Every structure is written in structure tokens, then in C-alpha cells.
């Protein structure tokens, strides 16, 4: 199985900060990675697919990069509505596997 290691598990940041979250795959997965945002009590929401493609309707402050085994999600200027938990998900093989999640909290 492909293991997805996400870091950090949590971070504190202020509005306007630049935030970077990393996901490492235990083996190469090409660009087969997506990023999701989840707010309390809600279903996850898609942000990025194919490692770097922004899903329609997602603000441009979100961006993704990487390929192979190392991936990053960047929020260029954190907004109040961005405080949430973020997950990566690999689509390269079954079983599909999520990262452990990164909780972005208000500083």
C-alpha cells in the first residue's frame, strides 16, 4: 500500500500569512494527488487535483505543486475562512490513501 505522510499535523498562523503543507508518498505516484479542505461538521471539499490543478471555484490563493513522492499545498495569504483541516489523497493505486491531515488554526 502507498503510505501518505503529511506534515505538519497542525500549525498556527495569522490572517495574511503564507502557509505550506507537505505530503510525502512512500513510492512514486506521478501527479496523482489531490488536496481537500474540511471544516468542522462538514464533508471534505476538493481544492486541487492532479497535484497542481486548481478546481473550479477555488480561490487562486490556493496552489499545489510537486510530483513523484513530494507534494505541497500553499495558501499564499491565509484568510479567516481558510482555518480548517487539510488532507492529501493519492489516486495512483488502490487502496486509495489519505494523509493524516493538517489542522490550520488561528494564531
DSSP 16-75: T--EEEEEEESS--TT-EEEEEE-TTS--EEEEETTTEEPTTS-TTEEEEEETTEEEEEE
Q: Considering the rule CB under 8 A, would residue 24 count as an interface residue with another protein? A: no
Closest distance to another protein from the beta carbon of 14 (Å): 25
Contact 25, 3 (CB under 8 A): yes
Of 39, 45, 70, 106, the residue at the interface with another protein (CB under 8 A) is 45
x/- track of binding to another protein for residues 60-99 (CB under 8 A):
---------------------------x-x-x--xxxxxx
Residue ranges in contact with another protein by CB under 8 A: 1, 31-34, 36, 38, 43-46, 49-50, 55, 87, 89, 91, 94-101
Amino acid at each position: 500500500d502507498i503510505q501518505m505522510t503529511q506534515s505538519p499535523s497542525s500549525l498556527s498562523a495569522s490572517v495574511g500569512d503564507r502557509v505550506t503543507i507537505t505530503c510525502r508518498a512512500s513510492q512514486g505516484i506521478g501527479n496523482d494527488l489531490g488536496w481537500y479542505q474540511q471544516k468542522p461538521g462538514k464533508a471534505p471539499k476538493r481544492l486541487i487535483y492532479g497535484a497542481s490543478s486548481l478546481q473550479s471555484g477555488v480561490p487562486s490563493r490556493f496552489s499545489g505543486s510537486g510530483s513523484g513522492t513530494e507534494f505541497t499545498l500553499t495558501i499564499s495569504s491565509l484568510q479567516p475562512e481558510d482555518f480548517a483541516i487539510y488532507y492529501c489523497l493519492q489516486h495512483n493505486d488502490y487502496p486509495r490513501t489519505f494523509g493524516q491531515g493538517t489542522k490550520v488554526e488561528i494564531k
